[in-house]
């Protein structure tokens, strides 16, 4: 099975590649990743020499550079992870989100259609549904109501994927997952930011009242679900993926404090994110009933393993934090006097 995986040098895409090469003997992977600030070849270190794997440093917005990868008609599937993925960056500047997440997805869809790729799996997010109040869950039929440039661009991409199904009967499937955590996550996202700041003796910027809620899922549970949808999901369908694991940001921080043995003073309340979605929570009955998927990694165990990974992989995140990341951090948190 030959698969084009886009965004395979990022957090979730690289987990997919490592998992597939470890688990699926006859898999061949072409990793299309243009290596933005969020991509990192070290995420597939130890796999890059595998003859079943190759990396193409190409943007999903570059139709002409992509076409030869599809042209021999041997590709069995596309899994589209490539995206600008950080809400705070989208608040600073939304244009790259529209270019990659919307235009890039449409270009991939058109090439997959032209060269008769049998399946296109688009990796989306629960954030397309917007924000929940204190109760309720997102199901696959919840109307799209995105609130940030990031989630709006992901919702637009979802609409293009569904349009390809309705207009051309193209074989597409969409997954919408909740917040992921685990190894190799870029330290701009909540959990790796707090863990690495904690290891460096830096404070934890908690937005607003810290009571915004996310439904956390270990990244390895996410990629197992993606594989099930890729191989057994029904064409034209959307599958929600969630951890049944709602946590406020304050609760996540308190758990990390316990694991790292840090005092509560490490948390510093800072100005809230603009348009900050209050609560996300996923109803994942459909994928459980249809495909038999369930999350396997318990939250506290997964979080401990994750902290331990950042403790033992300090070279990985220190290299990131000493680069252009510093400018981002100063811009994002400088005004908070952290």
Q: Tell me which residues are annotated as active site.
A: 126-127, 150
Rounded to whole angstroms, how far apart are CA atoms 48 and 41? 8
The partner residues of 180 in beta bridges, in order of sequence, read 217
Closest CB to ligand NAD among 81 and 293?
81
- Count of alpha carbons within 13 angstroms of residue 216, beta-carbon side: 22
Helix (H) or strand (E) segment spanning residue 221: helix 219-232
Residue number with the smallest Cβ distance to ligand NAD: 10
Strand partners, 104: none
Asked if 192 touches ligand TYD (CB under 6 A), the answer is no
Interacting residue with ligand NAD among 17, 27, 30, 38 (CB under 6 A)? 38
Residue spans of beta strands (DSSP E) within 7-154: 28-32, 53-56, 77-80, 119-125
Kindly tell me which residue out of 120, 129, 186, 316 binds ligand NAD, with binding defined by CB under 6 A: 186
Residue 280 interacts with ligand NAD (CB under 6 A)?
no
8 A C-beta contact, residue 171 and residue 118 = yes
Q: Shortest gap between Cβ of 203 and ligand TYD (angstroms)? A: 10
Q: Quick one: 38 or 75, whose CB is closer to ligand TYD?
A: 38
Q: Give the integer Cα–Cα distance in Å for 10 and 216.
A: 18
The binder of 249, among ligand TYD, ligand NAD, none, by C-beta within 5 to 8 A per type, is ligand TYD
154 binds, among ligand NAD, ligand TYD, none (CB under 5 to 8 A by kind): ligand NAD
- Token duo for residue 302: 């997964």
Count Cβ atoms below 10 Å from residue 133 Cβ, excluding itself: 7
Per CB under 6 A, 87 contacts ligand TYD: yes
332 neighbors 86 (Cβ within 8 angstroms): no
Q: Does 205 bind ligand TYD (CB under 6 A)?
A: yes
**Per CB under 6 A, does 155 bind ligand TYD?**
no
Q: Under rule CB under 6 A, how many of the chain's residues touch ligand TYD?
A: 12
Nearer to ligand NAD, 239 or 262 (CB): 239
Instruction: Select from 154, 218, 286, 321 the one that contacts ligand NAD (CB under 6 A).
Output: 154
Question: Cβ closer to ligand TYD: 168 or 258?
Answer: 258
207 touching ligand TYD, by CB under 6 A: yes
- Give residues with Cβ within 8 angstroms of 201, minimum separation 6: none
Terminal Cα-to-Cα distance of the chain (whole angstroms): 49
Shortest Å distance, C-beta 136 to ligand NAD: 19
* Region of residue 54 (phi > 0: left; psi between -120 and 50: alpha; otherwise: beta): beta
The stretch near ligand TYD (CB under 6 A) out of 40-48, 67-75, 158-166, 202-210 is 202-210
Q: Give me the least distance between CB of 265 and ligand NAD, in Å please.
A: 28
Q: What angle do CA 262, 266, 267 make, to 5 degrees?
A: 125
Q: What is the largest distance, in Å, between two alpha-carbon atoms of the chain?
A: 58
Choose the contact partner of 12 out of ligand TYD, ligand NAD, none; CB within 5 to 8 A by kind: ligand NAD
Q: Which residues here bind ligand TYD, judged by CB under 6 A?
A: 87, 179, 189-190, 193, 205-207, 212, 214, 249, 273
């Amino acid at each position: 099975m030959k698969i084009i995986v886009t965004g395979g040098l990022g957090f979730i895409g690289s987990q997919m590649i490592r998992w597939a090469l470890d688990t699926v003997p006859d898999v061949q992977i072409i990793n299309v990743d243009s290596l933005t600030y969020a991509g990192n070849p070290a995420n597939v270190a130890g796999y890059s020499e595998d003859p079943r794997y190759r990396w193409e440093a190409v943007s999903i917005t570059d139709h002409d550079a992509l076409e030869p990868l599809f042209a021999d008609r041997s590709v069995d599937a596309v899994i589209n992870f490539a995206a600008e993925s950080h809400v705070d960056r989208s608040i600073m500047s939304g244009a790259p989100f529209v270019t990659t997440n919307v235009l890039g997805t449409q270009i991939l869809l058109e090439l997959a259609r032209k060269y008769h790729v049998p399946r296109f799996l688009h990796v989306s997010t629960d954030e397309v549904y917007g924000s929940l109040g204190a109760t309720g869950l997102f199901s696959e039929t919840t109307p799209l109501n995105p609130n940030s440039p990031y989630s709006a661009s992901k919702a637009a991409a979802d609409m293009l994927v569904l349009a390809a199904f309705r207009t051309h009967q193209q074989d597409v499937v969409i997954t919408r997952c909740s917040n992921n955590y685990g190894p190799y996550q870029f330290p701009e996202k909540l959990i790796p930011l707090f863990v690495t700041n904690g290891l460096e003796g830096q404070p934890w910027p908690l937005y607003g009242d810290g009571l915004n809620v996310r439904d956390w899922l270990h990244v390895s549970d996410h990629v197992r679900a993606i594989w099930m949808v890729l191989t057994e999901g029904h064409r034209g369908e959307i599958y929600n993926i969630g951890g049944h694991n709602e946590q406020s940001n304050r609760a996540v921080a308190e758990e990390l404090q316990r694991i790292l043995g840090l005092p509560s003073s490490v948390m510093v309340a800072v100005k809230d994110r603009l348009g900050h979605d209050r609560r996300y929570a996923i109803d994942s009955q459909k994928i459980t009933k249809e495909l038999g998927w369930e999350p396997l990694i318990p939250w506290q165990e997964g979080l401990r393993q994750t902290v331990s990974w950042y403790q033992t992989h300090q070279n990985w995140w220190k290299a990131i934090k000493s680069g252009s990341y510093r400018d981002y951090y100063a811009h994002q948190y400088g005004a908070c006097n952290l």
